[in-house]
Structures are given as structure tokens and as C-alpha cells.
Amino acid sequence: MPNYDGGHYFLTAFFPVDLEPCKDSQGVVTSPSSRLRNALATLPNTVQVPRGKPGYDRRSPFARNKRTHLARMVVIDDPAYNGRDPGDAIVQGATGVDLLAAQPQDHLSRPWLMLAADFDAPEGADGALDAWAREIWTEMEPELRAVFRNCVGFDKVQDAAGFAAYLRKGQLETTMSFNDYWIDPPPLPSMSMPALAARALGAFALVGILGWGLSLTGFPAALLGGLVAVAAGVAAARRKAACGTISLAQALRVLGGVAALVGGLEYAVWAVLASLPQTAGWAGIGWIAPVGLLGIAAALAAGAHTINKLGSAPFGTAPNSDLRSVLKSLHLQQNFTRFAIDNQGVDAASLHKEFGRFLAELKPSDINGPTQAPGVFRS
């Protein structure tokens, strides 16, 4: 499921930066892009100094939210060039493709602000994004205004609901999230091979019955075979397009090639069946070849659909993977390391006494405190 996995919501959003001149905080005319970069450069980041040292209290404003695990904002001026589009070397050599000739490259007409965030959403509802947007607007409105005022359309945002709608407008699906809080294998749904085979055979039988019914009505077998061949070509072209960019000419070549291949297979099967001794039961064998191939395709499609449906389901929420639990775990881990170092070589009675004091002071079962503060690198 895009955007959601393992009890977390993964936000990816892009917002076009304005191009009209503006003024900075000192009244100097500048560009929105420059003003945006200054706002991001002065935004506090993760604190990496020990508690009590200067700068410890200057944390990222996102740390005010007790659901936000990670958040990042960055300006993208242009997409990176990753080299030529890959292709079959044999086909390129045979068709005379000049590998030194430049291919079309993508460029942006303006800078874009990217916001990526990972926050708790154990309920898995799509409305989790709106709720989180309203929360951070309440907790860090001045910082958000300083950043997003440089983006197109943000001048219409007046409140938390407007900011949530603005984030939603710039959102892109996050289809490859990173979530590593499962320690033990998660209880994923599974399907037995007999059940999978039963669905595939069911699809094959359904197509067979429909084809037999059409044959009884006198539906031309040649026309049925042609329709099957064209359908296979369309499916192959769509599959090719889903894997990357494909031109209309390439799609037509794929469609024609697959249709010709399927049509040839149909004819070969029909020819073999036609050469068998004729009996009353084989009088209408013309429909068997196209329907048989279509039945095989339907069986494969049914199996693939079942597997993809199970595979697209998100992981369940991992135990203790919310931000409060994670912060508590980090706090206990760091303090227990210090405890182990400080109590090397002590006798059993002293160790027991000190460990009791450790438990009373840190309260492992209380995730609300004492704990590590959000937005800091260490306790």
C-alpha cells in the first residue's frame, strides 16, 4: 500500500518555488529561491551536543511533534543525469543506434521544495496525513510559514486545514518506504499452493465454458482467435509501458509482435488438432486453440493478481515502534551501557542494589519518562 507501512505514514511531497522577486527580512530584494535556502539553512537540525551544553535546547521544530520520526526539506534545482536510457546492446547494434548521440534529458523550469517525513500512523487511515499536518501547523507555524511562503500557492493558506490541503496537493505516492522496526518476522498473510492453483484452474475453466458457449452460437473461431491475439498484444504493450517510458511506435511494434506470435501459436495448435481423426465430438475444434490460450492467460493472470494483492498489503505495526517507545528504548540502551561500565567487577550484592536503583530511576515500563528528548542525537 503506497504511503503507509508498518504503522508509519511516509510522506513525499513537492512544491514549486515562486519565481517572482520578493524581499527578505531586511527589506532587500531577492529571489524566493534564495530566501527559501536561507530559511532552511537557519532551521535547527538534530542536536548532537550533550545535555547541558550550549546549543542543546536549539532543536528542530519537528521535534515538537511526538509522532514525527524523521523529516527532511531540500531544494531540488534539476534532476540528476543518470546516463543513457538502458537498452538491448544487440538490438542497438543491429539497428545502428549511435551510443554517443545525446538522448533527451529532463530539466525543471524552476526549483522545487521537497518535503519527506515519516510519522506514526498506527490506524493506517488515509486521513493520518491531514491530522499530522494540522498538528505540526499548530506546533511550528512560524517556521512553516518562513519556508513555504516561497512556494507557489501558499499565500492562500490561512490555517491548519488549509496547510493540510496544501500538503495533499503536492503529495506524490511513496512506493518504497523504509521501515526496519520489526525484530522478529512479521505475521504476513500467506496462501497455500493448492488454493492458488484452484483460483488459476477456476479462471481457466470459466474461459473454457465461455468459449464453448460462443462456439455453440456459431461465433467465428477465426475472429475469436484474432481478438485473443490483439488482447495479448495490448496486455504486453501495457506491461512494457509500466516498466518505463515507451513511445507509440514502440508500443505498436510490441503489440504487433505479440499478436503475431499468439496468432501463430493458435494456428499451430489448430493445425495439430485438425489433423486428428474426425469424430462427432471434434466437429467444432476451431475454437479450442484461441480459447485454450486465452484460458492459460486467464489462469496466469488470476495467479499473478492473487500474489500481487497479498504482496501489496502493508506490514502490520511492529511492537514498540511508535516514537515514544523508540525514544525510551534509546534512553535505556545508552544508560544501561553506562551502568554496565560503571559496575564492572562489583560483587553480587552491590550489583543487585545498583540495578534496583537503575530500575527505580529510569522506569523502563514508563514510556513518558524519563526518556530521550526528541530531536537529539543522544541522551
The string of pLDDT tens digits covering residues 24-46 is 888 999 999 999 999 999 998 88
Q: Do 301 and 293 contact (CB within 8 A), yes or no?
A: no
pLDDT value of position 45: 86
Helix axes 248-274, 288-311, angle to 10 degrees: 130
Beta bridge partners of 14: 114
Lookup: cell for 280? 462427432
Rg (CA), the chain: 31
Distance CA 324, CA 68 (A): 10
Q: What number is the average pLDDT over the span 151-157?
A: 96
Distance CA 311, CA 298 (A): 20
Q: Write the DSSP symbol of residue 376.
A: B
Distance CA 181, CA 95 (A): 50
Distance CA 339, CA 344 (A): 9
* Average pLDDT taken over every residue of the chain: 81
Would you say residue 357 has pLDDT above 50? Answer: yes
pTM: 0.72
The string of pLDDT tens digits covering residues 97-109 is 888 888 888 899 9
Beta strand 171-172 with 8-16 is: antiparallel
The string of pLDDT tens digits covering residues 182-215 is 888 887 777 777 776 776 677 666 666 666 565 5
Q: Do 313 and 189 contact (CB within 8 A), yes or no?
A: yes
Q: Do 317 and 323 contact (CB within 8 A), yes or no?
A: no
Q: What number is the average pLDDT over the span 304-323?
A: 81
pLDDT value of position 126: 79
Would you say residue 300 has pLDDT above 90? Answer: no
Q: Do 270 and 288 contact (CB within 8 A), yes or no?
A: yes
Q: Write the DSSP symbol of residue 124.
A: -
Q: Do 282 and 276 contact (CB within 8 A), yes or no?
A: yes
The string of pLDDT tens digits covering residues 253-273 is 655 565 555 556 555 665 665
pLDDT value of position 379: 62
Residue 87: band (very low, low, confident or very high) from pLDDT cuts 50, 70, 90: confident
Contacts for 367 with CB less than 8 Å, ≥ 6 apart: 324, 325, 327, 328
Distance CA 169, CA 161 (A): 12
pLDDT value of position 279: 42
Distance CA 230, CA 123 (A): 44
The string of pLDDT tens digits covering residues 9-21 is 999 999 999 999 9
Q: Write the DSSP symbol of residue 61.
A: G
